[in-house]
Structure 1
Amino acid sequence: MPCSCKAATSFFKRTLALGPGRPSAGGSGPGLDAGARLRSSCAAPRAPVQLARRLRFLGAHPAAAASSACAPLTPALSPQDALSASLRRCYLYLNQTSRSFAAVIQALDGELRHAVCIFYLVLRALDTVEDDMTINLETKVPILHNFHSYLYQPDWRFMESNEKDKQVLEDFPTISLEFRNLAKVYQDVIADVCHKMGVGMVEFLEKKVDSEKDWDKYCHYVAGLVGIGLSRLFSASQLEDAIVGQDMALANSMGLFLQKTNIIRDYLEDQLEGREFWPSEVWNKYVKKMSDLAKPENIDKAVQCMNELITNALHHVPDVLTYLSRLKNQSVFNFCAIPQVMAIATLATCYNNQQVFKGMVKIRKGQAVTLMMDATNIQAVKAIMYQYVEEIYQKIPSTDPSSCRTQQVIASIRSMSLPAGALVSRAPYSRVYLSCIMLLAALSWQYLSTVSKATEEYVHTGEN
């Protein structure tokens, strides 16, 4: 079955999908016979395979507040910003297409905020073309190949899309104008990633994800490239050292870890919507058809297949820790670290868990809030990673075909998470302190929603 490379939005959107805020991820989900019910419960369409979807959970976290329990949140957009009419419209589109991600962007410092906003919208527009099944291939393929060039064509727009986010194509001149208003160093990054992603989308329009190598390549196009692009923007802003943007292998791993986590967790939803992203090289060891993994009689094999893929994903964790250890700016660290700790918590929940094949699996809301508040420095992130790989280790069945490889990768993660060989543990909190933290998180969460709404109202006001 052809694999739809819903790229760009994949990382932003799907990554966000890791969080507890997914309306479709509640409790015991329906079986395969309840496809329509599950689809109707999904608040956001599965972006490409989903840049936009990957980061969805970030919108639920108090990004700015997470950096300091004592630091008040400051709205990123205010009348003092004196945004141009076109930039205000871009932020309006950002709120319309991904309000949660808009909140995350608003927590970034300085001009990086605008660069990431435009980066998101450009990739969202690209993805909207790729995701629109009403556009024939004769029209779609040339657009995907040439999309990066439209950034420099002031009048280019596309009026034939039937997707819900078609406004970013119909008013692409506004987005491309603000793209051209960015510093050239940002333009070069965005155009380059857009070009490479468009080429990758075309490659996977008809291609299946057969081998694990194909899986890595597909995830590179839909998420790794986004991680690389963001890293280059971080460095271009001078908020981070040049090495962050230069080490593309680490940036790619950041994206692959998030993408693979969501692909693993979303097995059932993808099956219901006719998509297959698990590499056939792996599932062919256990069943004849990927859909057979959902059959009750195959549940043991299905779990073993999933455990093998989780083991594959865990190999990216050492790269993730190395990448995060290089970050210096607090807003960038929060932006990058929170999705990663959500991902490891999600994998720990999925590991050896039959529920992945019966319904939707998610981490608890309280667990998510704690992760959001804790993941503010590299030592805390290492402690969190250690905690969840230990949880996985305790669940490894002795009869699992991948058990030895799982133990080996966990050993490598442990070695990076233990300073000087000592056990890292997250500092115990008093009940009073925990209550305060939870209250602060709840208030911050509510505040971000208010800020996001106020931002949209401000944008509307500025246009009138």
Structure 2
Amino acid sequence: MGKLGEILSHPDELIPLLRMARDARKASRLPADPDLAFCYGILNDVSRSFAIVIQQLPNPLRDAICVFYLVLRGLDTVEDDMALDVSFKVDQLRSFHEKIYNKGFTMSCGYNHYKRLMAKFNIVVDVFLKLEDVYQKVIADITRRMGCGMSEFIEKEVLTVQDYDLYCHYVAGLVGIGLSQLFAACGLESPSVREEEGLANHMGLFLQKTNIIRDYLEDIMEEPAPRMFWPREIWGQYGTSLECFKDPANRKQAVQCLNHMITDALRHLPSCLQYMRQLRNLLVFRFCAIPQIMAIGTLALCYNNGKVFEGVVKMRRGQTAKVFQTCNDMGDVYRWFIYFLEIMEAKVRSAVSADDPSLATMRTEVATSLGHCRAALVQWRAAQPGSALALIRDWTLLAVSGSYFYYVWRLGGPGPESLPELLRPYAWVLEEHEEVQRAVSVVLLVLVFALVVSERRKV
């Protein structure tokens, strides 16, 4: 009853789930070109949700970002493989940006789908070499900067929050910077987007910190040795080691450390919102905004939640589907951020222990972010022109569904005479299968009403 129970308890998520399933099927349709087919096929294997949003992008940007993602995923696979000799790994990370120009380049490393990616990396190289030169330069430059940055942390412990920010810059902030350059290079976004490296960096840091926080248990259990990036400056206030947080006896300290980590992540929100506000292309906007909403949603679930130390905490699939289907402008972003920030606010107000060291800072962060998003949403609504066509559509839907309900239930009296004279010859249609039609009329009226209310709330 797990998934069925979720749908029954959240019926508004059924249609988004069906639409997301449709989008996933579209994403699984591979191009005719065999090399591109491999790239998009392996993309589906290593990141299904990312594959959906990337497939919605127009070409040539779509292929460039697909290759960009796979090249960086290959680099990340080298970094993550703890079985590789350290000196060999450092050399591979620093030279990886050169290897992507070498036809036939492959490596034996990684696990599961990542092992297959590296074994057939020559195909990714072939597609990379077919991209326009402007895209190749961006991908190679970001790969170089990321590889050199990763090599710094192969044997270096993340001690301070400054170290933490630097590591996240190397592995995610640079991704945001590279994507901004690709958006501008293809002409879908203004050249000024390329210049906002600071804002793009915050976009990456927010996503990466969310992943690092959420994946505590998976990372600490990694074999042959864990690689953890929670900064000692934070976790050292709550325990003698990161491993001690697995012990249920230390759950209070573990949760307080978790709360501190999430509080730190929220400081990137203002810059993330500022970055998204400058985007003009709808498809690029969705590509950037959906992961940000997923991140704030994940943090809202993880905050003050000891289950992070027992397993994976993630959003309901139906809720994820709603995000995918209702993220088309900054109004949607503000509404989702407000929704998840209010969840955090409720926890801060009544669920978090009064002696939690980061509580006061978190209360300020949440209140500030909520105030900003609420004010921005009001301004955004005021700037949107009212749509007469949308209003006519909504009233027409309500009138038709309401009239159907009115006549099927004979609220105007029994018999054909209750119908307008024009419709009386067709009274027999309403009299056949009357009970079924009554049920249909109720469902139809409720659905139309819910749809209209939802659309009106956006205006």
Alignment TM-score, normalising by the size of structure 1: 0.71
Aligned to 1:44: none
CA shift at 1:320, angstroms?
A: 1.2
Distance, in Å, in 2 between the alignment partners of 1:126 and 1:318 is 30
Moved over 4 A (4+): 61-66, 71-79, 420-425, 433-437
Aligned to 1:432: 447
Q: Is the 8 A contact 1:318 1:412 kept in 2?
A: no
Distance, in Å, in 2 between the alignment partners of 1:381 and 1:176 is 36
Aligned to 1:292: 244
Name the % identity: 44
User: 1:213–1:62: structure 2 CA closer, same or farther, 3 Å change rule?
Assistant: farther
CA shift at 1:62, angstroms?
A: 7.7
CA shift at 1:191, angstroms?
A: 0.3
Aligned to 2:270: 318
Distance, in Å, in 1 between the alignment partners of 2:18 and 2:56 is 5
CA shift at 1:170, angstroms?
A: 3.7
1:283 aligns with 2:235: yes
Distance, in Å, in 2 between the alignment partners of 1:369 and 1:77 is 17
1:123 aligns with 2:72: yes
1:407 aligns with 2:363: yes
1:356-384 Cα distance to aligned partner (Å, 9 max, x none): 22333222233222222222210111121
Aligned to 1:161: 109
Task: State the structure with more CA Rg.
Answer: 2
Aligned to 2:155: 206
Aligned length: 369
1:375 aligns with 2:327: yes
Q: Is the 8 A contact 1:64 1:73 kept in 2?
A: no
Distance, in Å, in 1 between the alignment partners of 2:189 and 2:278 is 8
1:392-415 Cα distance to aligned partner (Å, 9 max, x none): 122114432212211222233124
Q: Is the 8 A contact 1:286 1:301 kept in 2?
A: yes
Q: 1:143-154 residue pairs with structure 2 within 5 A?
A: 143-154=92-103
CA shift at 1:353, angstroms?
A: 1.8
CA shift at 1:307, angstroms?
A: 1.1
Greater displacement, 333-342 / 370-379:
370-379
1:174 aligns with 2:120: no
CA shift at 1:180, angstroms?
A: 2.1
For structure 2, the 5+ residue unaligned runs are 7-14, 382-444, 453-459
CA shift at 1:155, angstroms?
A: 4.0
Distance, in Å, in 2 between the alignment partners of 1:171 and 1:353 is 40
Which has the bigger relative contact order, CA under 8 A and spacing at least 6? 1
Distance, in Å, in 2 between the alignment partners of 1:261 and 1:201 is 19
Q: Is the 8 A contact 2:90 2:154 kept in 1?
A: no
- Cα RMSD of the aligned pairs, angstroms, is 3.3
Distance, in Å, in 2 between the alignment partners of 1:137 and 1:263 is 22
Secondary structure at the aligned position of 2:312 is classed as coil
User: 1:279–1:147: structure 2 CA closer, same or farther, 3 Å change rule?
Assistant: same
CA shift at 1:86, angstroms?
A: 3.2
1:350 aligns with 2:302: yes
Larger helix share, 1 or 2: 2
1:388 pairs with 324, 334, 340, which one?
340
1:249 pairs with 183, 198, 216, which one?
198
Distance, in Å, in 2 between the alignment partners of 1:96 and 1:324 is 28
For structure 1, the 5+ residue unaligned runs are 1-19, 27-60, 438-464
Distance, in Å, in 1 between the alignment partners of 2:380 and 2:359 is 24
User: 1:299–1:424: structure 2 CA closer, same or farther, 3 Å change rule?
Assistant: farther
Distance, in Å, in 2 between the alignment partners of 1:74 and 1:166 is 25
